[in-house]
Amino acid sequence: MSEEYSSLLGAFEGMRVAVVGDYLLDRYIVGHSARVSREAPIVVIEHEREVNHPGGAANAAQNISALGAVAVAVGVLGDDSEGSALSALLSERGVDASGLVVDEHAHTSTKLRILAGEMNAQKQQVARVDRSHRVVLDGSLRERLSAVAEAAVASCDAVLVSDYGMGVTSDGIASAVLAGANARGIPVVIDSRFNLADFAGATVATPNEVESLDALGIRSGARIEDAELASRLIKHSGIESFVVTQGSQGMLVCHPDGTCSRVGIVGSNEATDVTGAGDTVSAVVALSLASAATLLDAARMATYAAAVVVMKRGTATASVDEIRQLVKRFPVADRS
């Protein structure tokens, strides 16, 4: 089985995936805790450094690029320093950023995380400040975004829609992308925080369990592995299948007929940082399906990649070599 997964990893090289969605900048301020403030009962943090990473759809795109494939970015950036920084980061990491539309009326959304600890200790996240800006798709901006989205879908082997609720997939953009992909017979993977029902006709969605239950209007007291709930989720959304992530419990693959398969985690269940792991899962599922893998094998491959990134700090990626090493150490990903 490890040879099959190694072969699948090799098939990623040269694949093209259109990543349509909300592009965010993840900014980290790292420092050390120096003393308690005289002004309030809080710790004063001495600034050490500031680091930028791609976030949201941008993190999914860099995960695709890190695996030897071509990520074609489709989204909207503000005409601001954050947008410039994000575009430069993506280009440095091999992402085709030519489809990112810069608009003077838009603002690039940013998640600022503050990490601190003692001078020689491992830094921990102590606060996060979000600057969220919803994109308003007026006539001109919508036309420009539609044009780059149509061109990207026409040139790619799969589509990944990364919807963080900031407006890029609204106003008919998602439906146009789905129509174009379905006409070409290429897989469409949906990673949506809030609007799964807006993507009927997609191949697969990759929500976590809370998001999948929210889509059914269920707030607590249920588990998605209930066959009836899995069937309801597929019928309610119109999406063909689901890969539901469940943290340390692994993933649940919900097939079109409503049956489910469990995929257990690999490696340690003591994650260092789960930031961006969902982006990794959706990216690897898209690449695997583009490479003609089954849905179950796509989920297993995503499990390997996620096991790599959760052991790294911040929004991280997994390389082909890192995943291959994990496949050799844990040759059977499904340990249920």
Find the catalytic residue in 157, 163, 191, 279.
Answer: 279
Residue 234 tokens read as: 């597929």
DSSP E strands in 164-289: the ranges are 188-192, 204-205, 241-245, 251-254, 260-263
Per DSSP, 240 falls in state: S
Maximal CA-CA distance, the chain:
64
Q: Do 117 and 56 form a contact (C-beta atoms < 8 A)?
A: no
Rounded Cα–Cα distance for residues 292 and 26 (Å): 32
Q: What amino acid occupies position 225? A: E
Q: What amino acid occupies position 117? A: G
Q: Note if 279 is an active site residue.
A: yes
Strand-pair category, 110-117 with 43-56: unpaired
Q: What is the chain's Cα-based Rg? A: 20
List the catalytic residues.
279
